[in-house]
Amino acid sequence: MEPEEPIHTEATLLPGYVSRTLTTKEREEVELHLESCASCRQDLQETKSMHTALQTAIEKRPGPSPAAFAEVMRRIQQESQSAPTTVRQGQENSWWESIERTFRSLFEVRWAPALASLLIVGQAVLLLSVLGGPEGEITPGSSPVIERGIPPGAPGIPRIKIQVTFVETAQEINIRRLVQGLGGQIIHGPTPEGLYTLGFEHKGTDSRESILSALNAHPDLINTATALHP
């Protein structure tokens, strides 16, 4: 991996020179250097050939099958159907249909009993959590009801959520070993920014800090770790 001889700074610019992505200043620097450097002139020829070869090689690969497109659209539709409110907003119905729906909803009374039931259940859950919920960790501004809804299979135990980025070369088996060793699991990710959310059972007042320390003690696996507040 180490260079056999010192490389010219301009040599590192040659790929950009060939693909015409350098700034004007960089381009002029390269051209000036090429006038007096035979080895970089040879390197430029090689870079041009490699550029063409790679373009051809990659271009000749077949594209994905139509099944991938079908699968993406199927899953989008599936998700849209499971989120009816957002679908309604997105569908471009005619103005008449939307007015009609609005007026119809004013006379629609079936939602009233359902809303009343929801309010009663909500109040009951809130009351129960205040009276008999887990101690300490729920801050005054947080919503214990929402918090309880997150961990499936762990009723009553709030979850610590930590957002992490993994070292790119980290192997999944080692990541899994670390996270599971701390009693957690990956509950979301990666996001478009490469973030993952880990969930851990809340086992005490200082457990968030101890989990963060344990994660940060593995710089070979964890790049960044930040606790998410409920």
Partner 1 sequence: MSSTNWQDLTDSDLLQSCIPNNQEAFAILYQRYEKRVFQYLMTILNEATLAEETLVEVMLAIWKGLQTFQGQSKVSTWIFGIAHHKAVDALRKVTSLQRGGIPLEDIVETAASNENPLNDTQQKRMAELTNQGLMTLSPDHREILHMAFFEELSYPEIGKLLDIPVNTVKTRVYYAKQQLKKSLQHQGVTKEII
DSSP-H helix ranges across 12-83: 14-18, 24-36, 38-59, 66-82
Cα–Cα dist 75/151, whole Å:
24
Among 32, 76, 118, 121, binds partner 1 (CB under 8 A): 76
Is 13 or 138 the residue whose CB approaches partner 1 more closely? Answer: 13
Cα–Cα dist 132/115, whole Å:
26
Least distance (Å) between residue 149 CB and partner 1: 20
Q: Is 219 in the site for partner 1 (CB under 8 A)?
A: no
Residues within window 7-26 making contact with partner 1, judged by CB under 8 A: 7, 11-13, 15-16, 18-22
**Cα distance from N-terminal residue to C-terminal residue, the chain:** 46
* Helix, coil or strand: residue 225: strand
Q: Is 185 in the site for partner 1 (CB under 8 A)?
A: no
Among 25, 60, 104, 110, binds partner 1 (CB under 8 A): 60
Q: Is 225 in the site for partner 1 (CB under 8 A)?
A: no
Cα–Cα dist 201/157, whole Å:
7
Is 22 or 187 the residue whose CB approaches partner 1 more closely? Answer: 22
Q: Is 53 in the site for partner 1 (CB under 8 A)?
A: yes
Q: Is 224 in the site for partner 1 (CB under 8 A)?
A: no
Cα–Cα dist 47/22, whole Å:
15
* Chain Cα centroid distance, residue 29: 40
For residue 226, what are its two tokens? 């930040």
Among 138, 160, 175, 222, binds partner 1 (CB under 8 A): 175
Q: Is 106 in the site for partner 1 (CB under 8 A)?
A: no
Cα–Cα dist 59/201, whole Å:
49
User: Which amino acid type is present at position 56?
Assistant: T
Among 58, 106, 109, 114, binds partner 1 (CB under 8 A): 58
Cα dihedral across residues 108, 110, 113, 114: positive or negative:
negative
Is 73 or 124 the residue whose CB approaches partner 1 more closely? Answer: 73
Query: Which positions touch partner 1 (CB under 8 A)?
Result: 1, 3, 7, 11-13, 15-16, 18-22, 46-47, 49-51, 53-65, 67-69, 71-73, 75-77, 80, 86-87, 89-92, 166, 168, 170-172, 175, 190-194
